[in-house]
């Protein structure tokens, strides 16, 4: 049986001057040849994820690292060095800021991505299956290529020219076209996935913006005063202006709750200035995760107990609920407001994460406290 996974993930590099977030090591070596010397001129490389709307409730993958390589000289820059487990379905229509690294200026001709072979798919009925990436295409309909794997550790190399120039802005990207992923044998231990990956240039990314894609960022909150919120992304802080958000009550309570429990917040920006670290927000969410108890399907409420044993009262009357929802399951939520009258944090999304026991025999899901997976593709404990 062969089905289509109607998802799309674009991994985007935005080359820009100014902000340095999550400084990753540049230089070094991959595939032979020395890295650039310490005197090389550099430019910042901002790293983004995005996704399109999907039919699957969850598509959870782990990307371990991404590097740009000059195949002739061996010059290398790592633009993502920390392993990221993410649910690709939570990135709909948003260019999500993940990382910014300093890279030596020059021409890069190849992208090397390392990732886990296992990918966890959950369909709209809540059935979960651990599948394996086995092959990839460089264009829709092209003949598949075998993925290089040692055990669960896989990698692919893609050809694409990227020029990093000092003190100049540039854009390039790679499209993980999930709507052209082939999923074979879903519901069996032989489930396999063929991914489709194609490079993107600056004009193609601009087309996404014209189509309504927004910028976003995820990090841990700092202070909140006068409609302004600071969000830490790695070592940097963004100043987020929330004055333009309509009908989002109790934002101060949400910030305080996120700080007290160590929950990250996701910000969707109508306008972002990377060089100055400014964002005009249209939505702000708390990404809270924990175990469900006291589920009341009549009132659409439940208690969420976080890993630190703090308990939140959550309302989900207006939320999309994905997966099998019951007492005792671990969930990730996207909370958008607080109602002081009912003492409820209101969710717009509740997604169950199967732990230790899957709907398919021998298919365990993510474990709380381990390499967690948060909605919107956010890095756990970033």
Comparing 10 with 233, which gets the higher pLDDT?
Answer: 233
> Would you kindly state where each structural domain of the chain is located, as residue ranges?
2-210, 215-382
Comparing 154 with 11, which gets the higher pLDDT?
Answer: 154
Percentages helix, strand, coil for the chain, rounded to the nearest 5?
Answer: 10, 55, 40
Checking if the pLDDT of 372 tops 70, the result is no
pLDDT tens column, 325-370: 899 999 889 999 999 999 999 999 898 765 432 222 222 233 333 3
Average pLDDT, the chain: 75
Comparing 176 with 224, which gets the higher pLDDT?
Answer: 224
CA 373 vs CA 111, 171, 206, 306, 333: distances in Å? 25, 28, 29, 14, 11
**Residues 28-45, mean pLDDT to the nearest whole number:** 45
Confidence band for 235, pLDDT divided at 50, 70 and 90: low
At 307 the pLDDT is 83
At 59 the pLDDT is 77
DSSP state of 253: H
DSSP bridge pairs for 134:
none
DSSP state of 237: E
Checking if the pLDDT of 85 tops 70, the result is yes
Cα separation of the two ends of the chain? 39
Pairing mode, strands 94-104 and 214-225: parallel
Q: Which of 45-49, 96-100, 329-333 has the lowest mean pLDDT?
A: 45-49
The residue with tokens 């901002």 is: 46
Checking if the pLDDT of 120 tops 70, the result is yes
At 178 the pLDDT is 67
Closest CA to 13 of 162, 186, 179: 162
Q: Which CATH architecture has domain 215-382?
A: Beta Barrel (2.40)
At 360 the pLDDT is 26
- Which pairs from 168-172 meet CB under 8 Å and 24+ separation? 168/15, 168/17, 168/43, 169/15, 169/16, 169/17, 170/15, 170/202, 171/12, 171/13, 171/14, 171/15, 171/201, 171/202, 171/205, 171/206, 172/13, 172/15, 172/199, 172/200, 172/201, 172/202
H or E element that contains 258: helix 251-261
């Amino acid at each position: 049986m062969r089905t289509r996974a109607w998802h799309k993930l674009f991994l985007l590099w935005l080359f820009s001057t100014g902000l340095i977030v999550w400084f990753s090591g540049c230089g070094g070596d991959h595939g032979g040849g020395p890295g650039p010397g310490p005197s090389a001129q550099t430019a910042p490389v901002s790293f983004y994820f995005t996704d399109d709307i999907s039919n699957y409730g969850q598509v959870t993958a782990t990307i371990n690292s991404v590097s740009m390589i000059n195949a002739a000289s061996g010059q290398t820059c790592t633009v993502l060095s920390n392993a990221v487990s993410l649910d690709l379905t939570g990135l709909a229509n948003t260019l999500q800021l993940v990382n910014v690294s300093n890279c030596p200026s020059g021409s890069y001709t190849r992208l090397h991505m390392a990732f886990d072979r296992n990918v966890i798919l959950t369909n709209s009925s809540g059935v979960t299956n651990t599948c394996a990436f086995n092959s990839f295409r460089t264009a829709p309909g092209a003949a598949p290529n075998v993925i290089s794997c040692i055990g669960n550790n896989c990698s692919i190399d893609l050809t694409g020219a990227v020029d990093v120039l000092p003190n100049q802005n540039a854009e390039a990207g790679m499209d993980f076209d999930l709507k052209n992923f082939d999923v074979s044998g879903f519901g069996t231990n032989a489930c396999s996935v063929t991914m489709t990956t194609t490079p993107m240039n600056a004009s193609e990314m601009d087309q996404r913006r014209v189509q309504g894609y927004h910028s976003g960022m995820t990090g841990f909150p700092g202070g909140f005063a006068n409609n302004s919120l600071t969000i830490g992304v790695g070592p940097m802080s963004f100043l987020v202006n929330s004055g333009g958000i309509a009908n989002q009550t109790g934002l101060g309570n949400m910030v305080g709750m996120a700080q007290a429990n160590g929950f990250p917040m996701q910000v969707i920006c109508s306008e972002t200035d990377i060089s100055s670290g400014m964002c005009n927000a249209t939505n702000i969410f708390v990404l809270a995760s924990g175990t469900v108890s006291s589920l009341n399907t009549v009132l659409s409420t439940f208690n969420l107990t976080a890993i630190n044993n703090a308990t939140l009262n959550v309302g989900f009357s207006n939320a999309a609920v994905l997966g099998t929802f019951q007492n005792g399951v671990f969930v990730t939520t996207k909370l958008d407001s607080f109602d002081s009258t009912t003492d409820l944090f209101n969710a717009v999304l509740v997604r169950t994460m199967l732990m230790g026991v899957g709907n398919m025999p021998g298919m365990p899901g993510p474990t709380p406290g381990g390499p967690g997976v948060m909605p919107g593709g956010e890095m756990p404990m970033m």
